[in-house]
Structure 1
């Protein structure tokens, strides 16, 4: 069977790689690791004097595909999912990591090799880091209000257009420090995004539950959560009850010894 190949790389990036096979060069490129898990790596690289983030996918294997299918989940096979997600968010006017290059090679779905190269956003801070000290030091009320409204507006825009992030945690919202005092947020890490033909109730519950879970320990008030609800899509009590139930389960799982051990092992691999 002939190997299928997709490649979209600007000439400037090709030249900075020094010739040869561009796909191989990008798949073999080394840099500062930010994530290194089975079948996938995210690194920061310098090319032609500029900083980029490169996600390299080395194949998920049949085991992962069957596991997803048995759970009635769509398997994520490589980088092109993120490419499509970036293009969709650009159309919706949601700021994210600018797409620079991408490629995919292979015909066997379990062993596809692929990559996506995005521009470094520069001086940004994740909301997880930004809000970490809010329990001790109360943030400016107006600033917090604008942040909550913008997060709700992004969630609303995604979900009204059938887009689900599926890793919708506050760590994937990043504040553009160069735009302050204005509040400009980027939504990043789109490799698991699903795009539906119409809004999905269950997928929206999962996204909002993940967002709620990840904000539980930053000192938000009841008024803060009500403000989010007002600026998100109008939902009935059933929706919010399902969000609450799922978020509490996520919180319990995250704080379990088993999950924390796994997290510590993953972090040790990129030190």
Structure 2
């Protein structure tokens, strides 16, 4: 059965998008069929994967239909594009900013359970395609919004990405509390928090180590990933130029190997935290 994972934090710029894409990429390389859903109208996940595709194939991804149009048509399948073997993308676009207005028109005041109906709509559409995949990863904006609520409502697990700075820790705590309140408010949901993923701002920094210690004290040892995404200039390069892959380029070095090995190990830890895939 497919498992659906949301990457979140209520602080922007913490590496949430980068990590949702890197997890998707490494798991796909392991032979797991992954669908990455970009539920952020800023479309950062879409842009990163488009740059990756262009880097590897010397051409851009062909988007036949935007996700907003697909949502309006009630069928996500025509908007899904294949990035590479085992990795598929439900891309976002600037028109997805209209999603909340669309939901208000589709489920107006007076509709039975209209609040839940609005945030449950994406889950209903996702159900029609989810059996095509082993794992679905959802990236959402760092805001309390219909985008984030739709993502959480659709999820089985949540990963909170924690960059080692105080505002990110505050945002992680707020997201944790919001998820718990969300769970209480919508009994039909059934998700767990898979863990807190630490992302270092600076390697071997005292404040970074203190933030991780604070996170362990706040969330509990078992809820914080053992692996840590260390500060990496190569990862920044991937954000700008696309992900390097030795199967597509001869410009591959030790730093690429080290980074992909790290994400393979973290992906394995993620699978362990969610009980694997069956």
Question: TM-score, structure 1 length as denominator?
Answer: 0.25
Structure showing greater radius of gyration is 1
Question: TM-score, structure 2 length as denominator?
Answer: 0.25
Between Structure 1 and Structure 2, the one with more helix by share is: 2
Between Structure 1 and Structure 2, the one with more strand by share is: 1
Q: Of the two structures, which has the highest relative contact order with CA contacts closer than 8 Å and spacing of 6 or more?
A: 2
